Amino acid sequence: MEEKHKEIDRGNAVIQIKGLKKSFGDLHVLRGVDLDIFKGENLVVLGRSGTGKSVLIKIIAGLLKPDAGSVNVLGDDVASLKPKELDQLRLKIGFSFQNSALYDSMTVRENLEFPLVRNVRDLSRADIDAAVEEVLENVGLSQTINQMPSELSGGQRKRIGIARTLILKPEIMLYDEPTAGLDPITSIDINNLINEVQERNHTSSIIITHDLTCAKMTGDRVAMLLDGRFERQGTFDEVFNTDDERVKAFYDYNFIQ
């Protein structure tokens, strides 16, 4: 499988993280994280369980406060935002979490309408219908519009979850283990969808994954969290071309076991 090759504008950072630290009691999870994410870039974050990937995402979204360091998202210093400003910023960030969290009692259409109706005022019925149809078409599932989530496959539910996030046209997408629990072929479909979203919407994305096929297919750049820092950042091959046993173990586990 080929590495991704996409030109990224390194002059335009949408997320800038400097010297970020976060501990819980004696547990020092993030120990000085420096990271930039550029406009239109897919950045894959790798790291073993418990290394602090979710903590990092929560800090970016303003859900957790850092102990030290700065986090700037789309020009805003997250720590200094008032609650209302934080809500505004969060509308520009799409979260695609592991379980997709669709509402089981609502149809696909109702699930997709929900964030729009809740967050955007003065939309006509025609606007809402058009937005729902557009995102469903973008994820290739127009035919499921009147179905219930229980009638969909895991891969389809994942796609609808991504569509529901896209309906607010986020500038940044955060994908938390997008291929977890999916078979390899369906995982590849989701990886392709992540790239299509990037191409079509010029979104910048952070993709947290343990799946190195996903990392290689979707990542313009890969950053590996090791002992609380991003010691290794670069293309997929740059990150894994090393004698560092911690990195090699991660690679071997994915491809040999």
Ligand X SMILES: Nc1ncnc2c1ncn2[C@@H]1O[C@H](COP(=O)(O)OP(=O)(O)OP(=O)(O)O)[C@@H](O)[C@H]1O
Binding site for ligand X (CB under 6 A): 24, 27, 29, 47, 49-55
CB half-sphere exposure, 200, CA atoms < 13 A: 14
Q: Is 118 exposed, middle or buried (0-12, 13-18, 19+ CB in 10 A)?
A: exposed
Given the complex with ligand X, which of 40 and 52 has the nearer CB atom? Answer: 52
Reference 230, options 71, 36, 69; nearest CA is 36
CA distance 207 to 175: 5
Given the complex with ligand X, which of 17 and 108 has the nearer CB atom? Answer: 17
CA distance 249 to 3: 20
Least Å from the CB of residue 198 to ligand X: 22
Given the complex with ligand X, which of 47 and 66 has the nearer CB atom? Answer: 47
C-beta pairs of 27-32 under 8 Å, 24+ apart in sequence: 28/228, 29/55, 29/228, 30/55, 30/56, 30/59, 30/66, 30/228, 30/229, 31/227, 31/228, 31/229, 32/69, 32/228, 32/229
Least Å from the CB of residue 178 to ligand X: 13
Least Å from the CB of residue 205 to ligand X: 17
Given the complex with ligand X, which of 66 and 149 has the nearer CB atom? Answer: 66
Least Å from the CB of residue 30 to ligand X: 9
CA distance 66 to 63: 10
Least Å from the CB of residue 41 to ligand X: 21
Least Å from the CB of residue 54 to ligand X: 3
Least Å from the CB of residue 47 to ligand X: 5
Given the complex with ligand X, which of 106 and 180 has the nearer CB atom? Answer: 180
Given the complex with ligand X, which of 1 and 27 has the nearer CB atom? Answer: 27
Q: Which two tokens stand for residue 45?
A: 């974050």
Given the complex with ligand X, which of 40 and 47 has the nearer CB atom? Answer: 47
Residue type for position 215: A
CA distance 225 to 231: 7
CA quadruple 172, 159, 188, 199: dihedral sign: negative
